[in-house]
Structure 1
Amino acid sequence: METLEEQSGDRVGARLEVVEEGLAEVLRLLQMQQKPSKVERTKAYYESQRLLNARVFRRGHPRVQATLEYLFRTSCILVSLIDEVILLILLCIMDVLHPDSRLYMSILFVSIAMQVVHLLFLTIVTIEMVKQLMFRVASIADMLSVYVSIVLLYAGLYTVLAYVDPTCFSGLNAEDFEGPTKALSVFGNFIYFSNVAMASVGFGDIFPSSGVARSIVFTETLMSVGFLCILFGNIEYKDPTEMEDPTPSLDMGMGPDRHGTHVPLLSVGHEDTSM
């Protein structure tokens, strides 16, 4: 025959099982009733866009699919590279033409129009990237591609501006505006200057000396400050001791102990093996 203590222990264990089942059901109902926050809805939106892109490129060979996805996601930097390559080709053609010729002026107008269209495209991409940064759904590859694209864009703008007015920037060598590699030399110097302006360093070896040049440099520094502030502002330190337990649990503790941690008495989803 069971003793009175054993019978009492069995009844307590049965009651605890009933309480665990009831609390688990209450927790499930509460989780179902919770409405998703704005951050969760935004993350779900970008996840659906990612799945949609994967569904669009699902057909064909796996290697072809991976290549298409890579091109689709890195379209920003690809557009920038293509735009700058075409710009350099046009500038090299301008180097062999007379500055007063009609073809020279036509190519110069096309070069300026290309940079304006590129600026509008990159502005839209940057706004979308800022939204992703604010909701912490942007990837490192996306941020790097936008950063490089901005540097290339403004390097092209500065190069075209230097062709229109060679005195708008100070600190450039006169040899850079001579010879068959004039376009490459000027563009290389302005890639360096654009990266320095984007990083908000400002060494002072190359600096704008006209109002138009200062205005363009101001827009780049303003864009870089906003981009970098949002980027580094979304980096947060998380204490490992405060990380959530991936296993579902319902805390029924008596309060914090002398170390400041909460002592649980009942955990849903785990059986008490001590009895």
Structure 2
Amino acid sequence: MSFPLPRTARAVTLHTQRGDFAAVDTPAGESVPFRGVALLLPGFTGSKEDFHFLQGPLAARGYRTIAVDGRGQYESDGPEADESPYAQGELAKDVLAQAQLAGGPVHLLGHSMGGQVARAAVLLDHTPFRSLTLMSSGPAEISDSQKERVGLLHAALAAGMTMAQVWEVIVAMGPPEDVGGPAKGFGTPELMRERWTSHKPAQLLVTGRQLCAEPDRVAELAALGLPLHVLSGSSDDTWPVPLLDEMAARLSARRTVVEGAEHSPNQDQPLATAEALADFWDAQDTQDTQDTQEG
């Protein structure tokens, strides 16, 4: 079983100094000027397939996109029980290694938990990146109601249930996917189950705890001077939209609210989301040109 790939996309393995990572690499369209490369990081219980609906429209705007399964996510391997490789700092180093292979500097995008890993990566070293987009990813820990959902997931794992058994519990909890629920998606129920159960239990335990305890690092991020973009749907239960508005203001970031979308604008409204991303990335080229002329 496999998810359908976007047109012209290739399923690839990124062989990095930090290990191998499954990815979907979609080249820029041949009939448009090449504009750059973007690295796309999925959220908690998500995978590279979460970006399939974006990759075609972004290719049409001249962007090559590389969507990656993080360590222990879906088709990227990782230890079942050893939690140390899933610490946020380790995942951030993975992103830096992935960016090296992408050919930089690259535009970095992280969805939900992926946004917090992306933030950690640029705080380690922002030089490989042209910009950072935080998609439905807030300044600190998730909301109290979603912490309860993560707690239920962790309790099931701690009780010694298999991933297949936990899946049945999770399905009964309902969406959204970024707090452990079954992902929105375009695959069959069998594919969605396979994807969820392929995650490593240790990865879910560590990243779930991180979501519940993430510190506010907005001031550190703002100090880098990296071009920033905060994008979300018009409603979000994981980080309320007013909180994302406030974060964008603190970051002096571009702010995009995609109407008709919730926690996953990449799947709820992919065309509008892709246009907003490409517009932001295009603006960095314009700013670079102005800076060169003024210099």
Q: Considering only CA atoms, is the larger Rg found in Structure 1 or Structure 2?
A: 1
Higher relative contact order, structure no. (Cα contacts within 8 Å, ≥ 6 residues apart): 2
Give the structure with the larger helix fraction: 1
Q: Write 1 or 2 for the structure with the bigger share of strand.
A: 2
TM-score class normalised by the smaller sequence: under 0.3
TM-score by length of 1: 0.25
